[in-house]
Structure 1
Amino acid sequence: MARKLILFFILLLSQFQLFATHIVGGELYYRYNGNNIYQINLTVYRDCYNGVPPFDNPAFIGIWDANNTLITYLNLPIIASDTIPPIINSPCFIPPVDVCYEFARYSGTITLPPRPGGYQLGYQRCCRNQTINNIVNPLNVGITAYATIPGSPAVNSNPVFTQLPPPFICAGLDFVFDHSAIDQQGDSLVYEICNPYDGADQNIPILDQNTINSYAPPFQNVIFQPPYNLSNLLGGVPLTINPQTGLLTATPNTIGQFVIGVCVNEYRNGVLLSKTRRDYQLNVEPCPTLVVAALQTPVLTCGSNSVQFTNNSFGAISYNWNFGDPTTLADTSLQVNPAYTYPDTGTYNVTLIAYSIFNPACADTTVGEVTLLPAYQAGFSYNLNPCSFSVTFDDTSNTASGATSQWSWNFSDGSPLVNTTDPTHTFPGPGTYNVILQVQSARGCRKTISQTIIIPPKIAAIASNGQAGCAGECNGQSTVNVTNGNGPLIYLWNDPAAQTSATATGLCAGTYTVTITDSTGCITTTTSVITNPLPLAATISATDAYCNGLCIGSATINLTGGTTPYTINWNDPQSQTGAVATGLCPGWYTATVTDDNNCSYTDSVEVLFSSFIPPLDATISSDTIFDGETVILNAVATGNFTYSWTPVAGLSNPAIQNPVVTPDENTTWYVTITDSNGCSNIDSVSLVIKQVLCEEPELFIPNAFTPNGDQNNDVLYVRGNTIKELLFRVYDRWGEKVFETTDPKKGWDGKYKDKLATPAVYVYYLEITCFGNEKFFKKGNVTLIR
């Protein structure tokens, strides 16, 4: 089993290596040696940084006729292989370390007799790198190195590219590469950017003699991933080739891996003989420089001719500055961050050369601009509006360094910045505000100024509310209080008299507006509400002198309206002054009320004798009982009463609402209730004594019961209405007591010690004391049935 698993993983690994990413490109050449013998040369490029499988050895070349029929194949051995060196033709750039390309050259000969239409030659291999940017699904896309041999009678060798392709080019830099070819016969060569061919896939990544015809011509172009196409293979300045010289140029701006195709077309006497295609993966890499010269520019000064320069270069060990002063040759410095004072305002060009710390032969140069302008002064004035919180501002900044072109007003009150020249701004309220103005001239000079502005409060007024005396009178008044106004003040009320003083008098109920104008013309208004009290009114009521003829009546007056406090005077003998007059005999009584505004009101009420009879209902807990039983008498009445029950014999308390009694004969009781005013009522209740029978069938016990849980005869009870006391015991046939109770409401449920008793005949003993103290005894049998 272990050997089978090892074999499985070996096969899986080998299959993975076949189609793992590695193939970079290739081209196919042939040279005619005479006598129909051709030397076939193949060059294949491999990624030795990301790739896994090695070069094929041998490589199988398919040979088809012009009708795409396989004629034969040729397997070529590797004759040479090496790494393509990463060359940058500049001492200042650092080549990337994550790029490695290898090439392998294959060669072999084959005899191919002349054939109409000639021959098609192709080498196919999968797969390309998954990280390629410009084609669709690169992990399942292979290459086809392709060449054609013309038909008879032409004798030809196809062109050969003179240089190996570069493994990478630098992003953002101009790329120039001599992609020319040489031709053995000296035929005319024309160069073009062309489509690379697809070839092989993950199903058959490598071809041999058995699979050589699996991907026969015509071969398919690779599919470009939008937005890439033949006109945009790399991004940035497009890749182009001079059709006469083969000079390849581009300025790529996207870092990544890109598949390109370069074709050379061979013409003889104006007739196309062959097309040789180089399929290649070009890496666009970031190429850092050893040194970068950088200074912080442009520099703009306003009012000063001295400039402190900031050196932002990196990778440098020394510097050479030229400050561009045409009046002297001494305007240079070797310092890192030098300062220089120019003779006058104007514009100067500053040159900085930075020398690499790693390679003194590498230097970078940058040029910056310095502009010196006259001094620029910011300023503003303002005008307060005395009647509001608005202020009009006026920009007074000078224009020596150019007209002011940008404004930024910050009013420090939480409002948005304002970018106009002379704004009018309304502040949220009175207070002290720090107004900040930032200005910039058309030539770039900036200045900031701030001023403290005090916004005074606006004129304000509050008028007092008032009240006329009695309802309907016009004797109210109101006084207005003014703050923040500049005197003298002018008042104008909108009452019928158009009063002009701070206090308006003789006002009826209503709302009044007063307008106040100060000496600066600022106006404010306020309102006053004059109210009339509601008319003084009252409701008067009396309670009767009740049933006993005493002078215990009362009269009550409830007041509304008017103005509190009230003064109340009754015309009773005591001249009472409260809202309630008490101790009144039957008769008429008058109350006179005066409020705080001396408004008055009078009303009368009559106190009567009462004929009130309090409701009463006498009840008994049971109107028929056995001798010796107890009952409860009850006087049903609502209120506070005294109670009197007769006859009193046997009553627990004849002076309470519900006495208890144990009668020995038929009786009728009478109850009288009396309230605190002497009003009373009487009612009665009767009781009948039944004869007590302390014998069967009045006393009964069944001879069988069925405790099976069906709620029917499940419990053995002793039945009887005359039972006062009871002793009930049950024994099994061996004389063991299985149940006992003294509670007539408790019976035997057929269990003994919480277990179901066995169905059988049981013996019981019963002893009963009835009402009237008569005794009853019995023994017997009872059957438990389940």
Structure 2
Amino acid sequence: MKSLRYIIVLITISLSSSFINPTYSTHIIGGEMFYECMDSSINFYRFTVKLYRDCYSGVPPYDDPIYVSVYDSLEILRVQFGMVLPPDDTLENNTYNVCLYAPVDICVQEAVYTEYYILPPGRYTLTYQRCCRNQGIVNMSNSTGQGAGWDITIPDPAQAAYNSAPYYNNPPPTIICLDVPFEYDHSATDPDGDSLVYSFCTPQDYDNGIWGIIPNPSGPPSSNVDVNYVSPYNAAYPIYAPTDPFQIDPQTGWLTGTPELLGKYVVGICVSEYRNGVLLSTNMRDFQFNVAGCVDDVTAGFTINTVCGNTIEFNNTSWHGTDYYWDFGVPNTASDTSTQANPIYTYSDSGSYDVTLIVNKGLFCADSITVPISAAPVDFSLAFIVNKQFFFSPPFGVQFTNTTPNLNSYNYTWYFGDGTTEQNNDTSLYHEYLYNGYYDITLIAEDTFTGCTDTLLMEDHIFCTGGTIGIDDLKENNIHIHPNPTTGLLTIEGLAGTTTVYNIYGDLVATTLSSTLDLSNAAAGIYLLKNTGYQGKVDAQRVVKE
């Protein structure tokens, strides 16, 4: 199935905010027409018109409806369409240069009109006309007195049955930056796969004295005439660019050039379709290039927010950047980088780091900033006490008291070292142990506002030496104590770290870093001697005082 699509693109910028209808307008700055055959069995076509206008000062508003005419080969009017105004859209102000951005006073809207119709076989020409163009166009004389006219041919079926015209792939550029090389993809697509050739061409005018400001119907194709360019401008040299004149690749539609004078320029681009060397139709896009001074003041900047201790959230406050490169300042590594706009990074160690942000890295408009930051682990100053640490016989109970500052700011989870846990936010809680052994106590707190956590681990904090299992079975004994029993003075061999002594009630009796320990003043009885090495290794033995 072939299709017939017909689109007109008009870019409109006006100089008055008053509503004028119908009278001379200042909103026509370009257009495009094409068609598509939707059903070849009945010659069913779709016609489309795209219109563009200045968001801020286009006068008048979009026409509703617009009038498109269809003439036969003898220029007899066969069909007239009154296309209803569709919803409009706003085009992006793309400078096609990552280092430049457009002034804020340029804004172009797009509206796409469509109509469907069944045409009997034959050769036809579609036309659309509208007056008038903007004032102040650099390359035209009396621009406000000149209108815009478009026509496109549907070839005779004997030449190309059920043809569809080519259409441009991208909307026209809303802005071209002064003194900056410009590149733009002005390519088109032909639904039938016909060969396409691109070229500059002369935009069309018509006699609005005869056909009117809003022709109804639009005149025949012979009523369209070339616009009046002023020297040195013409179809092949439409924009002032003496150093790097604008050119269009005839095979790809790639448009290049460097404008050197501010202003508004009317430019015509044609794409012609050929089949077997025979010209079928030409789609002429007539539109207004706005050459303006663009800004390249890219500025790098960021702020930080500590998420949880060593985890930092970086908030990008840069101006007019398109890509970002972060170096988080960790020495001797290349993995501390990110290309996200607003990254989050967790430092493995606390300390001070020089964080660098490069905006538009590798481009002439690149900017960078380096800011020193500090990272520190989460520290809630977790603390707790117990009523007793040493026991001689299970089962036994321990009273835990949470002494953490700002107690109510956190949710707490307790790990008692015997495989049981408890979530408890109370100041005090009780836990019963069923077996003898050494128990690590872990307290984890979660900040109720930020979700950050901190952990306190107390190794071998609770211990019991009684029951059926002897203490020698519970811990490796890498120390040797003698004499045992003792009347007072003990010698400790293999000592490393701190040695503590507890009575049978779990009360601390003595502490030493020395290899000797004097228990002369201790009452006769059984004591537990516990040695905690520098790497946390625990050894324990019973000591008998006579």
TM-score, length-scaled by structure 2: 0.49
TM-score, length-scaled by structure 1: 0.35
